[in-house]
Amino acid sequence: MKAKTVFLCTSCGNETAKWAGRCPSCGQWNTLEEYTPPAASTGRKAAAPAARATAVSRPKRLSEIQPEEASRFSTGMGELDRVLGGGAVRGSLVLVSGAPGIGKSTLLLQICQKITEQQRVLYVSGEESASQLKLRAERLHVSGDELFFLCETNLDEVLTSADGLKPDVLIVDSVQTLFTEDKQASPGSVTQVKDCTMRLMQYCKSSGVTVFIVGHINKEGVIAGPKVLEHMVDCVLYFEGESHTSYRLLRAAKNRFGSTNEIGVFEMADTGLTEVPNPSEMLLSGRPLGTSGTCVACVMEGTRPILAEVQALVSPTTLSVPRRSCNGFDYNRAAMLLAVLEKRGGLHFSNADIYLNVIGGLRLDEPAADLPVLLAAASAYRDKPIADTMTAIGEVGLSGEIRSVRQLELRLTEIHRLGFTHCIIPRSGTAAIKAPEGLQLLRARNLSEAIAVAL
């Protein structure tokens, strides 16, 4: 019997019986692609009643489930372990995605050096030949008797080799190159990507092998293939970075075994990726001194405080609609904060272009960066520099009040460690906060008081 064909949305994963130009679920245009679900075999149906009688498939109480010992292991790179939640989990499926040339394959090949000291690794490549992998491994100084390479795109052959080799870690580069013979679609299509990922997930859960898969992204910056791909895996890692800089940020968009707030910082060198254990010093290197329009912010990325430089440029314009540009900061929030600064701070930007920039490719999404952004804009407007040893922390409301933020003492410790002597903080909710010795706290109730203290 011929399998029924459905149409799958590559944006949200919704299935429909008929093709349409627009997805009825998410409203995206031209995202429906033909998909043939796998047909259920009669042998599997016949075996189902017997499988229900096994102890594995019977429901268990929470108290009866025993956690596996040594369920985590180190990848050899502290920044990657931090993003994964303390190390890789055995039997998990991890998706690593990013722009071409960002360093996905380099990162996964480098972690093989440490893992192969105690475990066996099978590295499957569908994009490079064995000689190319050998040259890249020599350049990255990666070696080990327990590291095996396989250049194959047929998933059936890959799983057969894995069953014979019995590796502890399986790396697939990339999932868009895999295909199964029972599907007529070409590699990289919705049908192949979804089915290959499903089979890899079943393999890692049944065998306890940790599987890393590389996923390409499309021109919109999202993972190529169906959206359901991100729901199937246990962890989704995004590699970010500017093309003109050597620094890379590794971020977890999904993590079933840890927090999604942590980031890892790497630097791309000739011999591969090197860890940056102190991102604050990296982001503040080359900071101009005695210049208007700059302020240092302290944001929390998971459990790590990071200092970043925020720059603002206010330039007179003759245009009827002044230009607003943001790099590393949300445009809509910046427009709202600038309106607060104009209304509550008495600074008029109606005849000026405003440009905001966060140095180092970091994106500030936390409300604690509100006050540094506005102080940088006020400094650029008045052309008066903020003291080089001063930082600011605080969320700004629509009435101009400055609100307290979480983990303030941890932020102050990092600020003091990097040599800053003054910090503007909210007055409300900080009475019990004690500053480290040598750091003076300047409390402000609202935006006007903060501008008066800083300028």
For the question of whether the overall pTM of this predicted structure is more than 0.85, the answer is no
- Strands (E) located in 323-421: 324-327, 352-358, 390-392, 395-396, 402-403
Q: What is the tens place of the pLDDT at every residue in 104-153?
A: 999 999 999 999 998 999 999 998 999 999 999 999 999 888 999 999 99
Whether the pLDDT of residue 393 is over 90: the answer is yes
pLDDT at residue 53 in the model:
38
Q: For position 45, what pLDDT does the model report? A: 41
pLDDT band at 37 (very low <50, low <70, confident <90, very high): low
Confidence of residue 379 (pLDDT cuts 50, 70, 90): very high
Q: What is the mean pLDDT of residues 263-269?
A: 88
- Nearest-5° Cα angle at 203, 201 to 206: 105
**What is the share, in percent, of the chain residues with pLDDT greater than 90?**
48
pLDDT band for position 57 (cuts 50, 70, 90)? low
Would you kindly state where each structural domain of the chain is located, as residue ranges? 1-42, 70-277, 282-454
- Bridge partners of 272, per DSSP, are 269
| The token pair that represents 220 in the structure block | 């919109």
CB count in 10 Å sphere of residue 419: 11
For the chain, the average pLDDT equals 86
Furthest-apart CA pair in the chain: how many Å? 79
From 3.40.50.920, 1.10.10.10, 3.30.230.10, 2.70.70.10, which CATH number describes the 282-454 domain? 3.30.230.10
Q: Is residue 245 over pLDDT 80? A: no
- Contact between 264 and 303 under an 8 Å Cβ cutoff? The reply is no
Residue 160 to residues 17, 37, 155, Cα–Cα distance (Å): 35, 23, 8
Q: Is it true that domain 70-277 has CATH number 3.40.50.300?
A: yes
Residue-wise pLDDT for 163-181, tens only, equals 999 999 999 998 989 998 8
**Of 220, 253, 257, nearest to 238 (Cα)?**
253
DSSP-derived letter for residue 401 is B
Long-range contacts of 35-42 (CB under 8 A, 24+ apart): 35/5, 35/6, 35/7, 35/8, 35/190, 35/191, 35/194, 36/3, 36/4, 36/5, 36/6, 36/183, 36/184, 36/185, 36/191, 37/3, 37/4, 37/6, 38/3, 38/182, 38/195, 39/1, 39/3
Of all residues in the chain, the percent with pLDDT exceeding 70 is 91
pLDDT of residue 112: 93
How high is the pLDDT of residue 44? 40
Residue with tokens 């020599």: 138
| Gap between the Cα atoms of 48 and 27, Å rounded | 39
